[in-house]
Structure 1
Amino acid sequence: MKQLLAVDWGTSSLRGALLDSEGRVLKERSFPRGILTVASGDFATVFEACFAHWIGATGTFCLISGMAGSKQGWLEAPYCACPAGFDEVASQLAWVKAGRIAIVPGLSCEHEGIPDVMRGEETQVLGALQLLGLQDGLLILPGTHSKWVSVRGGRIEDFSTRMTGEFYALLRQHSLLARSMPDTDGEVDWAAFDEGVALALRGAGLLQTAFSVRTLSLFGRMAAARLPSYLSGLVIGEEIRARDLPGGTKVVLIGAELLTERYERALQQRQAVVQRLGAEATWRGLWTLAQTIHPSWDA
């Protein structure tokens, strides 16, 4: 392999990085062409328009993670059951073009007979293990649907999903609480955010604490501009409150900087020890998978 085209194709965005044979990022590109913007049957056309100049080079192999492997994506990549590591994931790729372009499968697990799934986060987690030299640990991937991932022996053993980001959006935009807040979030008010986290951690649950957004506004105890940050603290704090997290627990956060910064602040109220990673986890995960596969690079 001379180069790897590593692609993260999600619901709302399409990102790619060209990596050399040592896994170093040579170039990166990003497009607002998430799978929801692509008509059925047009995925190959969009991919070519974005990356033809990279994938066309001799010796370039492409691995794609994320929602491109969903039923609504380019080619469905069936879920790989946990526990799973690089070997299990690499053995269940969905090949768009044999030997040249493949989609990484998502992962599945069950809790009390109820299935849970992820797509894209598995690649980030496996990449983080490589970057940090970890074999065991707890990793959190904040987002619309946050993932809490347990790793043992270098394999993803178990995970669970929290709809934190989606609940924030619903409350922020479509509930009575929205009437108390400005149209846009504005800059983060960290004091208000911390106050929301603190109430969530000592409260009886989001169904009760969320109403404080309304009453703090009603009695003039918090300015409207501060309320979005306060609500963000409430929902993130609720996510963390619901987990058994002894003081001193080591946590790896993976995601966008502003979002992982919020989670780090919230986790510090539980005395957790936090490390943060960004896009580099995705690229390292895809690069390490490419080394695991050993495909016919000249196909």
Structure 2
Amino acid sequence: MVQVAPDWIAVDWGTSRLRVWAMQGATAREQRQSEDGLTGLTPDAFEPALLRLAGDWIGPDGMDIVACGMVGARQGWHEVPYVAVPTAPPVAAAVRSPAIDTRVRLWIVPGMKQASPPDVMRGEETQIAGFLALNKGWDGVICLPGTHTKWVHVSAGEVVSFQTALTGELFALLARHSTLRHSIAETGWDEDAFAAALDQARSRPERLAAALFALRADDLLNGCPPDTARARLSGLLIGADLAASRAYWLGQQVAVIGASETAAPYVRALQLQGVPATVADGDRMTLAGLTAAHRAL
């Protein structure tokens, strides 16, 4: 339990889960989470989901709640328009959003959009803001691996451009719902297989579809171990991502933001291209960005 009443509540509302922190200034005193992500909620269910998880932190006088992520999407609690790049991550432009419970003073951080080529982000802008707050004057490219991996060019404190790849979503779909599901392990790893597949896809991305089916054929004909197939699948998809994002990471200072299990394959992939990467914890960056948003209220 929280020993001291929080000053405010930080919220990261993703597609599959909801995470909240009881904050005192910039310090998180307690964290909670639930499976109440965007995909399982209708717009009128967001407020009850938040109150179930963190309602006991809110006193009778009410509390500021600063949120990022899919809570501001079209299907979220309250749609908050995107802010166009180039611009600084818009944590200082959090939008006051309506709530039924008068104790809830909800602020939602806007996402970011790019007109050409068309692209959008929600949630990552807050992590970028947190990284820049903790790394003053940093210029380069930030990679944010995940369901939808982002490559973000940052200069002079602004997001100049960005590119999104469905790498993580493709991995999940192929490993769990395609014919490859019979050949891919849920866990396990083979570093050599990952590196070979990475190089294969990076150098010949046009052969990706054929290389993917070869994972199944190798299992049927040669009994390829499922953990090896898992690593190869990851290497193929990340290799294709690196090939498509080469203009972002080549010759640039690169930082990778994310949880260790999602960041590590990208860090290794970049190292294999001779690109060292600074690694930053995703939760820490999210909280730093939300703290910047709270300070700007």
TM bucket normalised to smaller: 0.7 to 0.9
1:170-217, Cα deviation, whole Å (9 max, x unpaired): 3223434334x04x4222232322222122222243234323313433
Alpha-carbon distance change, 4 to 92 in structure 1, aligned in 2, over 3 angstroms:
closer
Pick the aligned partner of 1:11 from 12, 15, 34: 15
Q: Percent identity?
A: 35
Pick the aligned partner of 2:285 from 281, 284, 289: 281
Give unmatched runs, 5+ long, in structure 1. 294-299
User: Does the residue aligned with 1:210 lie in a helix, a strand or coil?
Assistant: helix
CA contact (8 A) 1:3 1:20 kept: yes
User: Does the residue aligned with 2:209 lie in a helix, a strand or coil?
Assistant: helix
Partner in structure 2 of residue 272 of structure 1: 275
For residue 4 of structure 1, what is the amino acid of its counterpart?
W
> What is the aligned length?
286
Structure 1 residue 58, shift from structure 2 partner: 5.3
Partner in structure 2 of residue 37 of structure 1: 40
Alpha-carbon distance change, 57 to 229 in structure 1, aligned in 2, over 3 angstroms:
farther
Partner in structure 2 of residue 263 of structure 1: 266
For residue 49 of structure 1, what is the amino acid of its counterpart?
R
Partner in structure 1 of residue 3 of structure 2: none
Q: CA RMSD in A?
A: 2.3
For residue 289 of structure 2, what is the amino acid of its counterpart?
G
Partner in structure 1 of residue 54 of structure 2: 51
Alpha-carbon distance change, 119 to 267 in structure 1, aligned in 2, over 3 angstroms:
same
Alignment of 1:92-107 (within 5 A): 93-96=95-98, 100-107=105-112
Structure 1 residue 59, shift from structure 2 partner: 7.5
Alignment of 1:197-212 (within 5 A): 197-205=198-206, 206-212=208-214
Partner in structure 1 of residue 197 of structure 2: 196
Structure 1 residue 94, shift from structure 2 partner: 4.2
CA contact (8 A) 1:94 1:105 kept: no
For residue 31 of structure 1, what is the amino acid of its counterpart?
S
Alpha-carbon distance change, 174 to 31 in structure 1, aligned in 2, over 3 angstroms:
closer
Partner in structure 1 of residue 256 of structure 2: 253
Scaled by the length of structure 1, the TM-score of the pair is: 0.87
Alpha-carbon distance change, 249 to 155 in structure 1, aligned in 2, over 3 angstroms:
closer
Partner in structure 2 of residue 67 of structure 1: 70
Alpha-carbon distance change, 58 to 136 in structure 1, aligned in 2, over 3 angstroms:
farther
Scaled by the length of structure 2, the TM-score of the pair is: 0.87
